[in-house]
Structure 1
């Protein structure tokens, strides 16, 4: 049974009109109609409220008769999108950190003073330049890979 059919069956069994049901959920009657006609699906918060109104478990509401229906597919897809968004955010933060750290190394190198001590040893922090450039390149690679993955995922989702 599709999710819309399940909602309609539960609503009519409890003698609720679409209007009364919509008022209890604080949504429009059109939203309820769209759910029942499988045009749209409710959010997770509304699913919890619906299950409490009809006194059924979320499993029974979402899964129905142990078949994967459109609501189950939506929840799986939403979870996948959430994980991908978190991964994109984390990699973007890592890339930004690498870029900032690389720029800080180069900034410190350019503003530091080289000197020769009394025993004739040159004190210079030259190592900061390659480290700074290495971090900048690593940060750019992270941004590039994240951007390419985002573009590929966008193209896949359009198909």
Structure 2
């Protein structure tokens, strides 16, 4: 199986299990055209679909993709892109939460009682805002370092 490409491997596994393209497509909840395009090497499934196919036929991922350098490279690239996207989403979320802490703090009413004591009910918003902003900036920097390193 090592000298086969991914399309031939999918087709072999499907036919060995006596399934039509339509039956496989139904099991994977994709179109028959998707299965056909995989088998004819017009397109490659994403990592989640490859895992699902391996589970469906009770074979290892190695068996399914072994020897198909194009498929292996795509899976590695997909995983890298997902990691980068997650870092970006985390970074933006942290920055937004930090900004919201500062904004909330600005609209929180503080008061001074008759003894001259300052009462701020949400005093923790400013330090939290700095914490989230700092974390967001660090995550953003890590995202770009990872992005540059992959080039």
Per the alignment, residue 2 of structure 1 pairs with: 5
Tell me the distance in 2 between the aligned counterparts of 1:53 and 1:123: 68
Report Cα offsets for 1:21-78 as digits up to 9, x if no partner.
Answer: 331331433222211222211244543453356553211112x23xx62221222122
Tell me the distance in 2 between the aligned counterparts of 1:113 and 1:53: 64
- TM-score, length-scaled by structure 2: 0.60
- TM-score, length-scaled by structure 1: 0.58
Per the alignment, residue 157 of structure 1 pairs with: none
Tell me the distance in 2 between the aligned counterparts of 1:5 and 1:78: 22
Per the alignment, residue 38 of structure 2 pairs with: 35
DSSP-derived class of the 2:107 partner: helix
Long gaps (5+) in structure 1: 154-159
In the TM superposition, 1:57-136 aligns within 5 A as 57-62=60-65, 64-65=66-67, 69-108=69-108, 111-114=109-112, 117=115, 132=126, 135=129
Tell me the distance in 1 between the aligned counterparts of 2:104 and 2:58: 59
Q: 1:112 to 1:11 in 2, by over 3 A?
A: closer
Long gaps (5+) in structure 2: none
DSSP-derived class of the 1:89 partner: helix
Tell me the distance in 2 between the aligned counterparts of 1:37 and 1:69: 16
1:123: Cα distance to partner? 5.0
**Count of aligned residue pairs for this structure pair:** 139
CA contact (8 A) 1:3 1:38 kept: yes
